Amino acid sequence: MFRHFEREAIRALVGEALGRDVLERVLSANEIEEYWSGAGYFLTVADPGLPSERAVFDAPLTIGASPSVRVGFVVFVEDSQLTLECHGWGDSDEFPSKFRDSKVALSVDGRPVLPQDIVRHEK
């Protein structure tokens, strides 16, 4: 399952490009492939409603911050799969293995993601 901050990062990056129903199915998926690279991780979900054509979503600038590291996010869609990349941003030499279980604060284009923003995204 995606963590709350991962779902919000995906929503911020993808916006309405994939359609509400497909996005909500992807965000609530129980089967997620997880790959750790050492500098971050990749989470991949397959859904037949996702496009087969490659698309990269790297804007707006979406940053996560935990007590130990700052991270950036990119979403890739291809072959009916969505992949969230979470990568460290030079604050630390090592990416913490327990990062996904950390409390992570998000900002989008320099603005904190607030509870009212989350409600707006879920309409």
109 token code pair: 């284009």
| Tens digit of each residue's pLDDT (9 = 90 or more) over 48-75 | 999 999 999 999 999 998 888 889 999 9
Q: Is the pTM of this model over 0.75?
A: yes
Residue in this structure with the two tokens 């050492």, named with its chain if needed: 38
Instruction: Find out whether 8 and 19 touch, Cβ atoms under 8 Å.
Output: no
| Tens digit of each residue's pLDDT (9 = 90 or more) over 70-99 | 899 999 999 999 999 999 886 566 778 888
For 33-96, the DSSP string reads EEEE-SSEEEEEEE-TTS-SS-EEE--S-EEEE-SS-EEEEEEEEETTEEEEEEEE-SS-SS--
